[in-house]
Amino acid sequence: MPTPTTYAPAKQFVGVATEVSQGTAVAMTATLLLDNFKPKDGPKFLEDKAWRGAMATDSFAQIPGVATAEADMGGPVFIDGLGFFLRNLMGDLSTTGTSTGSGGTTLSAQATAGASSISTVASIPASTVVQIGTGATAEVFTTGTPTGSGPYTIPLSTPSGGLAYTHASAQAVQPVTGPYTYAWALLNSGSGQPLSHTLTHMLGPTATSGARQYPGAVFSEVGFKWNSESDLFTFDAKATSWPSVPLGSAPVANPGTVAPMASWRMAVGIGGPASGGTLIPTVTDGEINLKRDINPYFTGNGVQTPYIIQRAGLTVDGKLNFVAASESPLLYMLNNTQPQLQLLISNGLAGVNYGAVQFDFAQAAFTEAESDGSKTAVEYSNTFKAVLNTTNAGGSGSYSPCKVSVTCNVTPGTY
């Protein structure tokens, strides 16, 4: 008797890649380290229930309608993969590196968004990683071979696509190295639509490759949780995509070596940064939830797949649980102080191995505060909502509910 064909779920993995055109599948470029991935194709069927003289109310035909797919996923937060989720959900990105301390120069002329080269006062050797500008419009490129005798034309080789922002003459151009800090805010320029991604799920049963792809993926939710006593820093997410398609050849997993982080490393600052006099040492656990309204639009263009999966507004809220050292958690709500809130978790390493995730809320409105006197110490459970502000806005301007920064040694342009 032949051995039955089966597939071991332990061998599954999920890959991700940034799309050029939403809904057009691309090969995975990175592996997402998840412990939960539940995709579900959702074709709609149109029923023919026209009367035919039969004593029945079921349909006489099931006609294929439009189709999408959905996926729930989650697991420990790995800082080298987190950027894909945040870029998809929030959109606005600035990138800064760690200065090498030498070789810096300035722009000799304005560099406009989309430009594939810059003009500098001093020359920069080919293959140098440089940071152009600072703050919300900072971006990092690897240079090509310089030309000219001063000012010098410096090609921007990678990432492709040219500058994301316009930079004024005399802005700094500084050689940098890792780790890099990627800061995400709400994208407000252009159509306000962030990039989309193809998710690749290697599960086994699919013929030839063992994998199916979910193109055009748009995330509607990304949530974070931590519990200092018992858990890793974790996340869960929801996405909607084009219906799945079989992959032609087997993908290969290429997981990173970055480790997840224990929740006890989370630091919380209220009224200032998560350090010094505004560090709050009494928060035991909590969560942060980023949610975005999305809607697939279908048109009469002869295909079942969406015309676009459109993003609408972004909202951010969360919860913090305190050991009550005072009545402060209650007063945040009663006095409606809407303080600055910062949460920072790092891996405790140094140099290029340093990694961190930082959540910045210029204004956090505490909307609920519930006391609990049933345990060994009095506790407060607080709910907060992010208040839109310009402080957390990115290079696309306007308002953002928060800024999320990830520091890691991932090559600029990966996200």
Per-residue pLDDT of 284-311, as tens digits, reads 999 999 999 999 999 999 999 999 999 9
Torsion sign (Cα): 110, 114, 119, 123: positive
Rounded-to-integer distance, Cα 232 and Cα 224, Å: 11
CB atoms within 10 A of CB 253: 13
- Per-residue model confidence as pLDDT tens digits over 14-50: 999 999 999 999 999 999 999 999 999 999 999 999 9
**278-287: string of b/e by CB count within 10 Å (b at 16+)?**
bbbebbbbbb
- Per-residue model confidence as pLDDT tens digits over 246-271: 999 999 999 999 999 999 999 999 99
Structural contact between residues 250 and 220, judged by C-beta atoms closer than 8 angstroms:
no
Averaged pLDDT, 268-291: 97
Q: What is the predicted pLDDT for the residue at 323? A: 98
Q: Is the pLDDT of residue 2 over 90?
A: no
Rounded-to-integer distance, Cα 299 and Cα 268, Å: 47
Q: Is the pLDDT of residue 74 over 80?
A: yes
Instruction: Please name the residue that has the structure tokens 């809904």.
Output: 23
- Per-residue model confidence as pLDDT tens digits over 93-141: 999 999 999 999 999 999 999 999 999 999 999 999 999 999 999 999 9
Domain ranges for the chain: 9-42+66-90+187-246+256-408, 99-129+140-174
Q: What is the predicted pLDDT for the residue at 3? A: 87
Q: What is the predicted pLDDT for the residue at 296? A: 98
Percentage above 70 pLDDT, the chain: 100
Q: What is the predicted pLDDT for the residue at 1? A: 74
Distances (CA, A) of 277 to 51, 273, 281, 337, 382: 75, 9, 10, 18, 21
